[in-house]
Amino acid sequence: MNTKPPKQWYCIDCGAPVNRRVKRCPPCNQANLSKRGTYERTPEARANMSKAKKGKPPRGTGWKHSEATRAKIAAAWDDEKRERARERGERMAADQEWRLRIAQALAGENNPMWQGGITGQKYAPGFSKTLKNGIRERDDYTCQLCGTTEDELGYHLSIHHADYDKANHDDMSLFAVCKRCNSLVNTNRDMWGGYFTALADARRQFSENIGNLIGRKIITQHVGIVGIGFDGGPSLLDLFGID
């Protein structure tokens, strides 16, 4: 029988027992890190980075890995690892101090979606529950971008202002969208404004609910959203095959 005691590792600075994967104990590691110099970006570099990222979705939105990378990720995430990640997320979500730090770190100009404080605009009187419920009913309780229904989502759809004017409550400027799409359409306002403008034009022309023409298959099988509503680009009428 092997009675050899397990090997022990020690901090290279103070000699305290440590895990074999690290060289220093936590106190010595913090002290060592505080002595190391840090890279500080110049104000000009920070301004350029902010300008380049402003109004763009965070990396990951629409981002696609290669098949080999997706297979590698799928193999790494087994049920046990997913459960640990879920439990970790629940602990962090319940930690009010942690949530406050995240909120403060991403507030105002620090947020990658910052667009100059335009979200501070208040809704004009009249943007009532009755109005919003009427828009949802008109749109057949279906997201006018991805085609997901309220029954599938399990919550009420948001009401999006196509012209981004919170004072304009004209029903032709309002569309029911899911939460995910509501965030998406605030990234490239020129493009999405063109999309909803073309959708409103189709509704005016045919004087009917064209919500049944909106759906995942329609958007993915045709040329896509880019170019819709722009000069020289296909209109929604062309994409939907409406004569």
Which DSSP string do the residues of 27-57 spell out, in sequence order? HHHHHHHHHS------HHHHHHHHHHHTTSP
pLDDT value of residue 4: 67
pLDDT under 70: residue ranges of the chain: 1-5, 55-64, 108, 111-121, 205-243
- 8-17: per-residue pLDDT in tens? 889 999 999 8
Termini Cα distance of the chain: 86
- 214-243: per-residue pLDDT in tens? 443 333 333 343 334 333 444 444 544 444
Q: CB atoms < 10 A from the CB of 120, how many?
A: 6
**Cα–Cα distance for residue pair 215/231, rounded to 1 Å:** 24
pLDDT value of residue 119: 59
pLDDT value of residue 157: 92
Which pair of structure tokens corresponds to residue 145? 């971008």
Distances, alpha carbon 170 to alpha carbons 106, 165, 195, 215, in Å: 33, 10, 17, 24
Q: At what angle do helices 79-94 and 96-105 cross, to 10 degrees?
A: 80
State what percent of residues in the chain have pLDDT above 90: 4
Distances, alpha carbon 141 to alpha carbons 36, 46, 97, 211, in Å: 57, 43, 37, 9
Query: Longest C-alpha distance within the chain, in Å?
Result: 88
pLDDT value of residue 167: 83
Q: Does residue 213 come out as left (phi exceeding 0), alpha (psi in the -120 to 50 range) or beta?
A: alpha
pLDDT value of residue 14: 92
Whether the pTM exceeds 0.75: the reply is no
